Amino acid sequence: GQVVPLEVTYIEYGGYATARVFVKGAVSETLLKTEWLHTAPMPTEQNTGLTGHYYADDGSHNPGQLAKIMTRQDPSVNFQWGTLAPIPGVQADNYFVRWEGYFTPPTTGTYTFGTRADEGTRVKINNTTDDESMDTGKKKLTKSNKTH
C-alpha cells in the first residue's frame, strides 16, 4: 500500500492517563499495529513503530515552546499510564507527546482513524487532521468521517 505520513499528538492535563490509536475500514476495527508503522518512509534498520517526542507541557501545547524531556522509538500508541509518569523521573501530569512516522496499509482500501484517550488528542494523516479533540478532556472514542 501507499506509505503516508502519520502524526499523533496527546496532551495529559492530570489524573489517569491513557492514549490509543485505532484504525478501521479495509480491516476490522483494531489498534494500529506496530508492523503498519514506520519511523521512515523507506526501509531502514529498526524503523518499525513511531518516534515519540515527550515534553513538559506549560499549557501552551506548542512543542516549539516546551522543554523536551526525551525522544524515543515507541512500537505503537497503546499506553495506559494510569496515574504514573510516561517515563521514570518525569511528572505524572502536564506533559505532551507527539508521535511521528508513517502508516503503511496492510491492504488496499479505505481507512478511518480514531483515538481513545482520557484527554486531548489529534491524528494527522498525510499532513491533514483526521481526528481531533484537543480541549474536551475525557474523550473516549472518536471516529472521523475522513477516509484514506
pLDDT of residue 144: 39
CA-CA-CA-CA torsion sign (41, 42, 45, 46) = positive
Averaged pLDDT for residues 99-120? 87
Confidence of residue 123 (pLDDT cuts 50, 70, 90): confident
CA angle 103/41/37 to nearest 5° reads: 30
pLDDT of residue 116: 85
35 vs 137: which has the higher pLDDT? 35
Instruction: For residue 97, give every residue at least 6 positions away whose Cβ sits within 8 Å of its Cβ, in sequence order, or none.
Output: 9, 10, 12, 19, 52, 53, 54, 55, 86
pLDDT of residue 130: 63
Structure pTM?
0.76
Summary mean pLDDT of the chain: 80
